[in-house]
Structure 1
Amino acid sequence: MASNGLVSVESRFGVAETIDRLVETVTGAGLRVFARIDHAAGAHEISAPLRPTELLIFGHPKGGTPLMQDRQLAGIDLPIKALAWEDEQGKAWLSYNDTQWLAERHGLSEASRDAVTAIAAGMEKVIAAAAGTN
């Protein structure tokens, strides 16, 4: 499923386990986890219903810095984010911004092509590992 620059992959695991697996995968690949946000827990604090929804923010300066050197405003979309969420049927999904969409959004030049390609390939691998689709 892809729309509006988002890529969504169905996970074989629940939301929390999917994010746990993503943390393990990205840290194992030498990336940094900057934040893990449990949106459903936040909703619970205000007595509002929300299906399981967790956001992981991760990356490495080696990947993002070249994009920001090209177009500094790309930093609004960096580090990389992935959202694990449960749909109305109870299926878990892992969604992230399509790297090519980010390149187009920010008007990244040819100088960023290799970095964009590397980030896209890395995202496919870590998402597949976390979702159990590899």
Structure 2
Amino acid sequence: MATETAEVDSKGIDQLVTQSALDDVDMRLREGIEQRGMGLMAVVDHHANAEKVGLELPPTRTFIFGNPEVGTALMQCEGSVALDLPQKMVVRQSEEGVVIEWNDPHYLVERHELEACELPIDKMSEALTGLAREAAGGE
């Protein structure tokens, strides 16, 4: 179950903490991405990569996914937004539980000066929050 959703300071990062097992969150996130018709391009396992070089890191995975129709519209508005696309969601183990983090689309508007374009930013934000809540084991 999700315990909170909050923006983390002014970095434009949204966060949700859950007591669900990391592998369960991983599975639900993969399913949620697929069910929403988005493409999962890659999952980076930072924990495994750290182990390969003899370092320790709690289980941490970055999911890289997106919808080309939405992403293309953002990049047509301002090419620099490609730095932040495709969308990413981090799932990591912490002392508080499993943390799910993602970029707030409203922050991308500010960072890349997308205000002049008519983009579905609120819809994107709601979709990402819904995806994170579903992955956390909530509705």
Q: Same fold (TM over 0.5)?
A: yes
1:91 alignment counterpart? 97
Paired residue for 1:110, among 88, 95, 116? Answer: 116
More helix by share: 1
- Counterpart Cα distance in 2 of 1:55 and 1:16: 13
1:26 alignment counterpart? 33
2:84 alignment counterpart? 77
Establish whether residue 9 from structure 1 lines up as the match of residue 19 from structure 2.
no
Query: Could you list the runs of 5+ residues in structure 1 that have no partner in the other structure?
Result: none
Amino acid at match of 1:104: E
Give the aligned CA root-mean-square deviation in angstroms: 1.3
- Counterpart Cα distance in 1 of 2:136 and 2:36: 16
- Counterpart Cα distance in 2 of 1:131 and 1:92: 8
Cα deviation for residue 6 of structure 1 reads: 0.6
Amino acid at match of 2:98: A
Q: Which runs of 4+ in 1 moved over 4 A?
A: none
SS of equivalent residue, structure 2 residue 56:
coil
SS of equivalent residue, structure 1 residue 83:
strand
- Residues 52-88 of structure 1, C-alpha deviations (whole Å, 9 max, x = no match): 100100011111111100001101101100000111x
Give the direction of change, closer, same or farther, for the CA distance of 1:90–1:109 in structure 2 (3 Å limit): closer
- Residues 72-116 of structure 1, C-alpha deviations (whole Å, 9 max, x = no match): 1101101100000111x2511100011101110000033233x21
Structure 1 contact 73–106 (Cα < 8 Å) conserved: yes
Structure 2 contact 17–96 (Cα < 8 Å) conserved: no
Paired residue for 2:133, among 102, 124, 128? Answer: 128
Amino acid at match of 1:100: H
- Counterpart Cα distance in 2 of 1:62 and 1:93: 28
1:63 alignment counterpart? 70
More strand by share: 2
- Counterpart Cα distance in 1 of 2:109 and 2:27: 28
Structure 2 contact 26–135 (Cα < 8 Å) conserved: yes
Query: Could you list the runs of 5+ residues in structure 2 that have no partner in the other structure?
Result: 1-5
